Amino acid sequence: MSEPSLTILAEKVDDAEAIERLHERTFGPGRYARTAFRIREGRGHELSLSFTARIGTLLVGSVRLTPICIDETKALLLGPLTVEPPFRSRGVGTALVKRALKEAQAKGHKLVVLVGDEPIYAKSGFKRIPKGQVKMPGPVDPARLLVAELKAGAFDGVKGTIRPDWIVG
């Protein structure tokens, strides 16, 4: 019998528990202390810009996007990105990121930043932010601060500290 195919769906309220368990297994309790977690905690992620990966009915991965500001520039923070260990290295993570970026672009968003490993995200268009151009409101390795432009030139001249976006609806 052939394996059920991969589907990427917008996150639903009902997915929260399964995603929380996935995050707990992947990142453990230390996740609460991470600077990116603290930012996401403020406003919460945007369901319509967050996606789950399913093989058949099984939730095997998740990616979330959260509205933020870099000084006065609106942007999105990507993460966490997580795929269940048995389903890794099959393109699920890349499919989740590509779908989230496509949807964000379609909704008029111009910039996405994240804290993560450059080799994972480079193929989805992320590049390292020059040291000091953007700061997180907490400790982060500057080499892991990445950006993707959804509109050419959107990152030109953008600098400052990332904060949760409390205003965008």
Nearer to ligand COA, 71 or 117 (CB): 117
Nearer to ligand COA, 123 or 151 (CB): 123
Distances (CA, A) of 49 to 52, 98, 100, 154, 161: 10, 11, 6, 19, 23
> Cβ of residue 21: shortest distance to ligand COA, in angstroms?
13
Pairing of strands 58-70, 160-164: antiparallel
65 binds ligand COA (CB under 6 A): no
6 forms beta bridges with 55
5 binds ligand COA (CB under 6 A): no
> Cβ of residue 72: shortest distance to ligand COA, in angstroms?
27
160 binds ligand COA (CB under 6 A): no
Nearer to ligand COA, 90 or 159 (CB): 90
Distances (CA, A) of 55 to 2, 3, 19, 90: 12, 8, 15, 12
35 binds ligand COA (CB under 6 A): no
Listed in sequence order, the residues at least 6 apart from 3 whose beta carbon sits closer than 8 Å to its beta carbon are 55
Q: In which residue are the tokens 């309220």 written?
A: 13
Nearer to ligand COA, 16 or 168 (CB): 16
Instruction: Write out the residues near ligand COA by the rule CB under 6 A.
Output: 26, 81-83, 88-94, 116-117, 119-120
